[in-house]
Structure 1
Amino acid sequence: MNNDEKKFVPVMITPFNLKATVDMDALNSLVDFYLAAGVKGFFANCLSSEMFSISEDERLEITKHIVKYVNGKVPVVATGSFGLTIEDKAKFTKKIYYTGIDAAIMITGHFANVEDGDDVLLRNFEKMFDLTGNIPLGMYECPAPYKRIISADVFKQLLSFNRLVYHKDTSIEHSQVKAKLDVLKSIGNNNLEFYDAHSPNAMFSLQAGAKGMSSISGNFYPEILVWMCNNATNPDKQEDVKWLQSEITRVDPLIHQAYPMSAKYFLQKRGLPIRTISRTFALELTPDQKKTLDDIHTSFLGWCDRLGIQPVI
């Protein structure tokens, strides 16, 4: 693989059937859709997957199914840090790693309470490293149970254990993103891949050295994020890159409304067999919300037309 290659990794949604159980056939269609769009990996069992609203068995079943269906075409990562104690989290991490994923992702908010200092977080991470052998691990500054942003200093200390291969950043502020990317550059030969979760940061983060993007916008228009990852550092495409970034930023607050139901509606509109059924969002989309998403779909088609992108569906 080209070390300079930028990658888009979608945070996968979970399709449900009319009984609100997992629709594996629709999940297959979703994987095919992402791959056709050019994604370079998958983040399964994440917040977009409604991981807090599915059972432990479902987390494992969905992840195992995705790994088998992807069949090695691209890497797959999934959240592993579930459980009351660090020992419990290590046990589940081993279970989900043995589904065949390439790395198990740790939610930073699972390793210290909101009132705890970084010393607690570092101590718990070190214990987790000890309990999980040589399993490749990653970090995710997930908004739930609360968003625990990792500072550049703590980031550097965690990297010193040589166990982390993946980081999904949600710090949003350019200064914080750059500080962590600077740590990576100072270390040199490090295996960690840095992904920004905030679509309005795409151009900045990719140009500052991030490996790629992993944002919810990929559940609406993954082709657009793939194009951005492929072209953000291309000197011949900077006018289009800046224009596209302004468009992505413009619609980003709108696609977050009623998410993940909004994504399921959008994908259904694009022709995927995805029902607008969610375990985390119980309300039906309002006519105004649907109209907003319809308008964004029109914008998406316009983006594709300007950039010469063929929409998958």
Structure 2
Amino acid sequence: MNTAEKKFVPVMITPFNLKAKVDYEVLPALIDFYLAAGVKGFFANCLSSEMYSISEDERLELTAFVVKYINKRLPVVATGSFGFTIEDKAEFTKKIYDTGIDAAIMITGHFAKVDGSDEILLQNFDKMFGLTGNIPLGTYECPAPYKRILTADVFRQLLMSDRLVYHKDTSILLDSVKAKIEIAKDSHLEFYDAHTPNSMYSLQMGAKGMSSISGNFYPEIMVWMCDNALNPEKQADVAWLQSELSAVDPIIHQAYPMSAKYFLQKRGLPVRTISRTYALELTPQQKQTLDEIHARFLGWCERLGITPTAGKQ
């Protein structure tokens, strides 16, 4: 492994068929699209995958399919902390790890209630560590069921367990991101920022990579950013691209993940605009706005010398 390499890891969407079932005929084309864009790993069974809207069996089947199709070409992580009790979460973590993933990701909001103290959160994580043997684990400050941001002190204590190999951060505030990157720098944990407007800054501060929803719109652009954020010859383009990405980021979050599915359709992928978490049709105005972002994306590619990845029907 090239330890200096920066990596973009997409948070995978789930394609559904006309019956709103996972579309395993389309999923290979989506995986191939990510691969052709140059991603360096996959986050399956995540919020973008609509993990709260699919069943336990579907979570396992979906993750197993991704692992089998990728066939060890790249690492795969997936959320494991489902269940009412810590024991339940540990049991599901074992099940999803058995699909062949490289690490099971723990949602920070699953380990303490909104008003629960950091002490309770740490106690529950410690219990989880004890119940999951030597399974490699990661943490994710997922927005659902609520966003539980790890403080630098809590993050440091969790790292001391020597069980964490992955962290997906949603702090947004660069001071918080920087503090956690500094704590992780001498560990084997890989730190990924989920906030696209942070991309240039997080990568330059030492983040291992990015793992943002923008990868479900223009993954090759995010790969370029990861590849060039530290390139002294590309700093003008890096700063320009960061400004562009930050400008459109709030817009692509609207009606997500339906917005991403519409965008991927425009890119030639056979992904239907069917979602279990966003029941409404996109409005004509929303479609027009996404059409405009698509045209803007093509302009980015032209300036940066990127050939847009073609979707396979």
* TM-score tier after normalising by the smaller chain length: over 0.9
Question: What's the CA shift for 1:263?
Answer: 0.1
Gap runs ≥5 in structure 2: none
2: CA distance, partners of 1:3 / 1:287: 45
What secondary structure sits across from 2:223 in the alignment? Answer: helix
2: CA distance, partners of 1:147 / 1:256: 16
2: CA distance, partners of 1:28 / 1:150: 35
Q: Is 1:34 paired with 2:34?
A: yes
1: CA distance, partners of 2:183 / 2:134: 23
Provide the residue aligned with 2:226 in structure 1: 229
What letter matches 1:82 in structure 2? F
1:310 is aligned, of 277, 299, 307, to 307
2: CA distance, partners of 1:101 / 1:202: 26
**Runs of 4+ with deviation above 4 angstroms:** none
Question: How many residue pairs get matched?
Answer: 310
Question: What's the CA shift for 1:14?
Answer: 0.2
What secondary structure sits across from 2:26 in the alignment? Answer: helix
What letter matches 1:173 in structure 2? L
2: CA distance, partners of 1:24 / 1:196: 29
Q: Is 1:119 paired with 2:119?
A: yes
Provide the residue aligned with 1:199 in structure 2: 196
Provide the residue aligned with 2:91 in structure 1: 91
Provide the residue aligned with 2:169 in structure 1: 169
| Aligned positions of 1:58-69 closer than 5 A | 58-69=58-69
1: CA distance, partners of 2:237 / 2:172: 23
2:265 is aligned, of 244, 263, 268, to 268
Per-residue Cα deviation, 1:221-262 (whole angstroms, up to 9, x for no partner): 000000000000001100000000000000000000000000
| Aligned positions of 1:1-313 closer than 5 A | 1-185=1-185, 188=186, 190-313=187-310
2: CA distance, partners of 1:147 / 1:64: 27
What secondary structure sits across from 1:2 in the alignment? Answer: coil
1: CA distance, partners of 2:138 / 2:42: 13
Question: What's the CA shift for 1:131?
Answer: 0.1
Question: What's the CA shift for 1:25?
Answer: 1.5
Per-residue Cα deviation, 1:198-232 (whole angstroms, up to 9, x for no partner): 00000000000000000000000000000000000
Question: What's the CA shift for 1:269?
Answer: 0.6
Per-residue Cα deviation, 1:178-199 (whole angstroms, up to 9, x for no partner): 01011123xx2x1100000000
Gap runs ≥5 in structure 1: none
What letter matches 1:109 in structure 2? G
What secondary structure sits across from 1:47 in the alignment? Answer: coil
Percent identical among aligned pairs is: 76
1: CA distance, partners of 2:286 / 2:302: 25
1: CA distance, partners of 2:148 / 2:167: 13
Per-residue Cα deviation, 1:70-104 (whole angstroms, up to 9, x for no partner): 01110000000000000000000000000000000
The TM-score normalised by the length of structure 1 is: 0.99
Per-residue Cα deviation, 1:41-95 (whole angstroms, up to 9, x for no partner): 0000000000000000000000000000001110000000000000000000000
What letter matches 1:132 in structure 2? T
